[in-house]
């Protein structure tokens, strides 16, 4: 098997320094209860539990899972757990047979295929975009 090339099309290893930066950045906010880099299920990823105080009681748990690759590919999965269902979506940049490299799996079920999209190139800008969309989602929950 050939090693990953990091060309944006081939599989690539996880970029741990970027996960560590994101972990530090997220832990500094009141919206995050916990941010941990784990290797469960054989995938190095950042698992974030969002602070329950930001959500109405109908949301039992909200999480964000981030995988960032050395070829700047990523998978960012947001998930809320409600009493009888889950609500989730995913921002992705990776090669696949169902969409362009940049795509979004919309809520409430994050289906595949998703919608083709365009994401910023810098990981900090991607994080800001995702956090802004999560903030909009939280505001809509409080408006219900």
Residue 11: inside a domain, yes or no? no
pLDDT tens for each residue of 117-137: 999 999 999 999 999 999 999
The total number of structural domains that make up the chain: 1
Residue 131: inside a domain, yes or no? yes
Residue 69: inside a domain, yes or no? yes
Cβ distance 32 to 50 under 8 Å? yes
Report the alpha-carbon distance of residue 27 to residue 37 in Å, rounded: 12
Give the pLDDT confidence score for residue 8 in this predicted structure: 45
Answering whether pTM is above 0.85, one says yes
**31 or 10: which leads in pLDDT:** 31
pLDDT tens for each residue of 63-114: 999 999 999 999 999 999 999 999 999 999 998 888 889 999 999 999 988 9
Residue 5: inside a domain, yes or no? no
Residue 125: inside a domain, yes or no? yes
Q: pLDDT confidence of 7, banded at 50, 70, 90? A: very low
What is the domain extent for residue 32?
A: 16-143
Residue 2: inside a domain, yes or no? no
Residue 1: inside a domain, yes or no? no
Cβ distance 102 to 81 under 8 Å? no
Residue 4: inside a domain, yes or no? no
- Which secondary-structure segment (H or E) carries 124? helix 123-143
Cβ distance 100 to 113 under 8 Å? no
């Amino acid at each position: 098997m050939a090693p990953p090339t990091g060309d944006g099309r081939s599989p690539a290893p996880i970029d741990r320094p970027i996960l560590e930066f994101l972990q530090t950045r997220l832990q500094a906010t009141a919206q995050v209860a916990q941010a941990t880099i784990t290797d469960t299920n054989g995938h190095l990823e950042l698992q974030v539990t969002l602070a329950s105080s930001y959500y109405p009681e109908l949301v039992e748990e909200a999480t964000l899972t981030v995988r960032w690759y050395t070829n700047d590919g990523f998978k960012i999965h947001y998930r809320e757990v409600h009493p009888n269902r889950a609500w989730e979506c995913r921002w992705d940049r990776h090669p696949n047979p169902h969409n362009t490299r940049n795509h979004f799996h919309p809520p409430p079920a994050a289906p595949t295929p998703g919608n083709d999209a365009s994401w910023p190139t810098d990981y900090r800008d991607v994080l800001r975009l995702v956090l802004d969309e999560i903030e909009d989602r939280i505001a809509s929950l409080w408006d219900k």
